[in-house]
Amino acid sequence: MDALDTRALRHFLAVVRTGSIRAAADHISIAPSAVSRQIADIEHRLGLPIFERSARGVVLTEAGELLAEHAKRMVEDEELLREQLGRLKGIKQGLVRISCGDGFVADLMANGLRTFAKIYPNIRFTIQLAGTAGVLAAVSDGDADVGLVYNPVIDTGIRSIAIARQPLAVITPPGHPLLTRPSISLAESLAYPCALLIPGHGVRQLVGRVAADCGLALSPALETPSIDVLRQFVRASLGITYLPPFAVDTELARGEVGVVGLTDPLLVEASAHIIVRARRRLPVSVEQLVGHIAREMVAFRVKHPY
């Protein structure tokens, strides 16, 4: 088999991520016919089809799955080499792509990037917000270097660099009746109006699973993809919500919200993870960031204020 061009592999990965040749072409700003020719050339070199085509788009064949893993390694190794050569030239800089849940943002900024940027001022960042499924996909597909995620279902394509137990809790307005209790079950707390994250977020998955085990249906007063909206809902005394306490660390310190522990075992054992793609050799910039945020972020310290 002839060697495959890295550029062609990048375009192939764009098709994998977008699900069609036309969408990939739009994403990378080249003609669909050029992408189609590259895919045809790759299939000719391999002697096997890499996509099953339909009116709805394309799906990887078994050969395509193998090529996708190889392509991700090739692209990552090229980026790693570029950073290493840059360091030899005295260019100490890099770009780290972060994907995380909304609840990590305040902690990441105040306790992670604020101090890290002072130590490594030439490292740049991009931050993409996503639910649990989106963060896992971004890291697994190579669209993010680092993921911060709450209670993910880890598969073989993901590696957790740091894990800290961060139980799910009830977040209440100040003076709420639940604050007289040291802890409470989820079933008991559902008697009060609540706001929940939309499906696809780790917190919603946990709450939904425990509620279903109790034979209860969720009927939130408000659903949102935004943790800031959940905070505002509680601060406005509209009801309660469910979050790990690190997601409201600032509000807790100001006395703007209260927290009550939940007793359900699944919720007690929930955890925060720093994830990277499995079997990837991490660039120095990514290793430095991961080590720093694991030490400095509240989410990765085992500290429970209740």
pLDDT tens digits for range 120-175? 888 889 999 998 889 998 998 888 999 999 998 877 889 999 999 999 999 999 99
Three-state SS at 35:
helix
What is the pLDDT, as a whole number, of residue 91?
46
Res. 47: pLDDT tops 90: no
End-to-end CA gap in the chain = 61
CA atoms within 13 A on the CB side of 80: 14
Three-state SS at 120:
coil
What is the pLDDT, as a whole number, of residue 2?
59
Mean pLDDT of the chain: 87
Residue 121, both tokens: 């001022």
Lowest mean pLDDT among 48-52, 56-60, 178-182, 271-275: 56-60
Is this prediction's pTM over 0.75? Answer: no
What is the pLDDT, as a whole number, of residue 38?
85
The mean pLDDT value for 104-132 works out to: 92
The mean pLDDT value for 24-38 works out to: 83
Lowest mean pLDDT among 18-27, 161-170, 246-255: 18-27
Instruction: Answer whether 148's CB lies under 8 Å from 117's CB.
Output: no
Q: Amino acid identity, residue 146?
A: V
Domains and CATH numbers, the chain: 6-74 (1.10.10.10), 93-157+276-300 (3.40.190.10), 169-268 (3.40.190.10)
Res. 304: pLDDT tops 60: no
Buried/exposed 37-53: b ≥16 CB within 10 Å, e otherwise: ebbeebbeebeeebbee
Q: Any residues with CB less than 8 A from the CB of 9 and at least 6 apart, and which?
A: 67, 70, 71, 74, 75
User: Which stretches of the chain are assigned E, i.e. beta strand?
Assistant: 51-54, 57-60, 94-100, 123-129, 146-150, 158-165, 169-172, 183-184, 194-197, 222-224, 240-243, 258-262, 271-277
pLDDT tens digits for range 76-104? 777 777 766 666 555 455 789 999 999 99
Looking only at the bridges linking them, the beta strands covering 123-129 and 51-54 are unpaired
What is the pLDDT, as a whole number, of residue 202?
87
Residue 184, both tokens: 């409470």
C-alpha–C-alpha distance, residues 113 and 44, integer Å:
46
Lowest mean pLDDT among 54-58, 218-222, 262-266, 268-272: 54-58
C-alpha–C-alpha distance, residues 266 and 274, integer Å:
20
Residue 26, both tokens: 């739009």
For the chain, count helices (H), then strands (E): 13, 13
pLDDT above 90 coverage of the chain, percent: 51
Residue 273, both tokens: 């993870």
